[in-house]
A and B are shown apart, each in its own frame.
Chain A
Amino acid sequence: EAQVTQNPRYLITVTGKKLTVTCSQNMNHEYMSWYRQDPGLGLRQIYYSMNVEVTDKGDVPEGYKVSRKEKRNFPLILESPSPNQTSLYFCASSLGRGDEQYFGPGTRLTVT
């Protein structure tokens, strides 16, 4: 089954404790992206990757890092989480940057 998977699905952590949210896709897509979704603000892009070892900032990259060492994986790293990073996070993938994107199930992060 073609899918995007994310782990963990739920995470509660404390300010400053580094965390990683994993994302994997099995569709051989070149483009992958991370979004956060907040009430009243909609989906906002954090980082994206056009291919292995090629990443770039989206609209709200501050406080986040990413890496793309393999085509199928695109982890999101929060090195020092803060409460304003409490949000619902989605990973997505597509054939190309402007093509329809397929989303993972989401990771609900709470930073206290």
Chain B
Amino acid sequence: EDQVTQSPEALRLQEGESSSLNCSYTVSGLRGLFWYRQDPGKGPEFLFTLYSAGEEKEKERLKATLTKKESFLHITAPKPEDSATYLCAVRGSQGNLIFGKGTKLSVKP
């Protein structure tokens, strides 16, 4: 069964304290892993797509990496405005997107 698990559920950081969010997945033949950012009460906002192990993508303080079993979203020197819930999704065996439950990130000044 296709599955996506994100950890931790919640993460509290001080401004400037770098860390990583984890997304582990089980899918037969990965055909895309997606990261989204979601602010409270708003729709998820697309960040990255990764397709193959070893691939990396960066955007400002965020860098996403991919291995054969998991993806990491690295946050370097975060700021309070990076506070949000980060969602991971994979393209499942049936072609649909399967979402994890997200990691809620809080960055305190």
**Which residues of A line the B interface, CB within 8 A?**
4, 40-43, 45, 48, 58, 88, 90, 92, 97-106, 108
* Contact sample, A vs B, 16 pairs, CB 8 Å cutoff: A41-B101, A42-B99, A42-B100, A42-B101, A45-B97, A90-B44, A97-B95, A98-B32, A98-B96, A100-B32, A100-B46, A100-B49, A101-B46, A102-B46, A103-B44, A104-B43
Chain B residue at smallest Cβ distance from A39 = B101
The answer to whether B41 and A106 touch across the interface, beta carbons within 8 angstroms, is yes
Residues in B whose Cβ lies below 8 Å from that of A103: 36, 43-45
Say yes or no for B72: interface residue by CB 8 A criterion. Answer: no
Majority SS at the chain B contact face = loop
Residues in A whose Cβ lies below 8 Å from that of B95: 97-98
Interface size on B, residues (CB 8 A): 20
Of residues 29 to 86 in B, which have CB atoms within 8 Å of A's CB atoms? 31-32, 34, 36, 41-46, 49
- Report how far A88 CA is from B41 CA in the complex, Å: 8
